[in-house]
Amino acid sequence: MANCIQKEKPLWLVSLSILLPAAFSCLATSATNVAIPHISGYFGATVDEANWIITSYMIANACLILMTGWLENLMGRKLFLKVFISIFTIGSLICALAPSLNIMVLGRLIQGIGGGPMTPIAQSVLLGAFPKEKRSIAMSLFGIAVMIFAILGPTFGGFIVDNADWQWIYFVNIPIGIISVAMVHANIKELDFRKEIKHIDFAGMIALVVWLLTMQIVLDKDQQYNWFDCNWICALTAVSVISLTFLIVWELEYKNPIVNLRIFKDANFLIGTILSASVNVIVFSSIVLLPQFMQNVIGYTAMLSGMALAPRIISSLIMVVLINYMMKIFDNRKLIAIGFFILGISILMFINLNLEISFLYLTLPNILLGVGIILVFIPVSSLVLGTLPKQELSNGASLHNLCKTVCMAVSASIANTLVSRLTQCHQFHLVKNLSDFSLVFQHKMSGLINSFSGSTAHYTAQIKANSYVYKSLIVQSKLMAYVDVFALIALIGFVVIPLSFYLKVDKN
């Protein structure tokens, strides 16, 4: 892909034009997760029904991510960007004004269609616009827009739902979308080189949509229906696997594929994608689990749980300023390895969680997490597409981001399932201690009954004491389950460290 940006336009203006819509598409994705309980209450729906708000967005988002390079080549970069930013803005407006849950889901579907291409197109535009010696600066800007705004989402969403109507999560995207369309029109140049498309890959498109649709439904409903104990979950899983298999074989054999899978032969692209997917698993699993833990176990509000994640935003911003200089001085592979080590340590610190922790206790691990994110994300983003031909940058960025999105969705589902199952396991083992043959238990129950007897009858006091003990059992079981899952997530950070040294670094 030739340099697509007008030379007379300053790089900062080009960067702002392409990163503004990308940043707010990432913000809308993670901010919505915090608002789901409020949205479900507003529409009088269950949380499971409201989860379709996330599912519809993820399906549309993932489909369009993989189709980004193909659609950009078909439509031309400038028209492509203006059309999809407009679609994202319209989807945001529908979400903000939705009178029912079904319309809300439709709005999120439209928003996902518009927001899906923003991240890969931003990455490919920046890599094409900046000279090779300034690529680290380009990826630092990309990191601010994509990773930091995604991390900011829970804090932003928590602030909105606790201090205003949840609809403002979507209203803020409307002026941003209008401004972005105008800036793209003024500052982004058309592609200099476009492949002629004689045949549209309808088979690939259908296989892609079926695979992502069935996979996301399985991941979304698995825990509710007890995974493979449900026949239709098994059937959808089979359809998903068959669709994915067909997609891979078809795209490798078809002359004009919707996505070129052969770029996985590039070692940097393959390893970089694995490393980036690992970062997403670590970061977004913590974004999902920590607010859940703080709200469901400790009793924090949505705003407080979002604010607890704020230290990682501050440390990430500081590291974005420093990482450009660090990448010039140190071997990028060592920075990536150190980053994964810090990520592992930061998540490992969460295994000391307990019911008495203070708000400040979460500060240090979140600061370290922000440092580790940037130490890994920026160097990997610079290297993963660096060895691809220019004409494959958009395709590579699309495939790279799809892999990260899929891994993120799978890991979030598995993490939630593990928390649920491990809670049951710990409950099974802890309940053995609640026996009349245990002197400690008898002493505790006697104390509780005496405490409650002061204000109620003895029989009622016994019921209240049993309820209190059972509630404590559930809370302790959940706490231990979260600790176990955090330990598994930390292990991922340590396991992938050796892969960092297999990346090829340009020493010139």
Q: Provide the pLDDT for residue 378.
A: 82
Q: Is the pLDDT of residue 89 over 70?
A: yes
CA distance 508 to 506: 6
Residue 494 · residue 262 · CB < 8 Å: no
Q: Is the pLDDT of residue 97 over 50?
A: yes
CA distance 402 to 259: 11
Token output for 189: 């140049």
Confidence of residue 5 (pLDDT cuts 50, 70, 90): very low
In CATH, the architecture of 1-198 is Up-down Bundle (1.20)
Confidence of residue 338 (pLDDT cuts 50, 70, 90): very high
Backbone torsions φ then ψ of 211, nearest 5 degrees: -60, -50
44 Rama class: left (phi>0) / alpha (psi -120 to 50) / beta:
left
Q: Is the pLDDT of residue 59 over 90?
A: no
Confidence of residue 3 (pLDDT cuts 50, 70, 90): very low
Mean pLDDT of 480-505: 88
Q: Do domains 1-198 and 280-508 have the same CATH topology?
A: yes
CA distance 216 to 58: 8
CA distance 32 to 391: 35
Angle, CA of 413, 416 and 422, to the nearest 5°: 135
SS3 assignment, position 364:
helix
Q: Is the pLDDT of residue 6 over 60?
A: no
Angle, CA of 43, 47 and 51, to the nearest 5°: 95
Choose between 135 and 150: higher pLDDT: 150
Confidence of residue 2 (pLDDT cuts 50, 70, 90): very low
Q: Report the percentage of the chain scoring pLDDT > 90.
A: 3
Q: Provide the pLDDT for residue 197.
A: 56
Domains of the chain, by residue range, sit at: 1-198, 280-508
Topology of domain 280-508 in CATH is: Growth Hormone; Chain: A; (1.20.1250)
Which of 4-18, 57-71, 309-323, 348-362 has the least mean pLDDT?
A: 4-18
Q: Is the pLDDT of residue 493 over 70?
A: yes
SS3 assignment, position 385:
coil
CA distance 373 to 251: 33
Tell me the average pLDDT of the chain. Answer: 78
Q: Provide the pLDDT for residue 4.
A: 42
The string of pLDDT tens digits covering residues 454-469 is: 666 666 777 777 777 7
The string of pLDDT tens digits covering residues 226-283 is: 666 778 788 888 888 898 888 888 877 777 777 777 778 878 888 888 898 888 888 8
Token output for 480: 């231990």
